[in-house]
Amino acid sequence: MKGSQKIIDALNEGLTIELTAINLYFISSKMCKDWGFAKLAKHFYDESIEEMKHADQVIDRILYLEGVPEIARYDVIRVGKTVEEQIQNSLELEMKGVSTYNSAIELCHEEKDAGSRELMDQMVVESEESIDWCESQMELIKQVGIQNYLAGQIHE
């Protein structure tokens, strides 16, 4: 089904966020594992896989609309040198994702594309859940201190 080029472009913007997130979460997972923070490593790894599934869904939708998925586009991948930086970078990327998808959802209403809107609605909800997790972790760090927080991240 030939879809709106505006929607395909919006989906590709979302795909850029998803591909960036895969890499951001994957490197955060590897670094946390190397530092001995198994619980965080698992969380970031699971997030990376979730983002891969999101990218898969977005690619499928772009192809359904007879568009070309822009898989070589990435946003800046900010590799955190500390756990706090990793969480903050994740928060910023997820917030960008929510903003990107919310703008695209408005376009879907204009273009009368309920299928793409439904997919993007799902992406917003899942990104908001990730934002909530990041904000909770930052609050935990603030309340218990970084050392106590990290001590709780050693074991799964």
Binding residues for Fe cation: 18, 50-51, 54, 94, 128
Nearest to 127 by CA among 89, 93, 156: 93
Using CA atoms, how far apart are residues 95 and 38, in angstroms rounded to an integer? 25
Using CA atoms, how far apart are residues 146 and 153, in angstroms rounded to an integer? 11
Name the residue with tokens 């955060």: 28
Binding residues for heme b: 52
Cβ burial of 56 (10 Å; 0-12, 13-18, 19+) is: exposed
Binding residues: 18, 50-52, 54, 94, 128
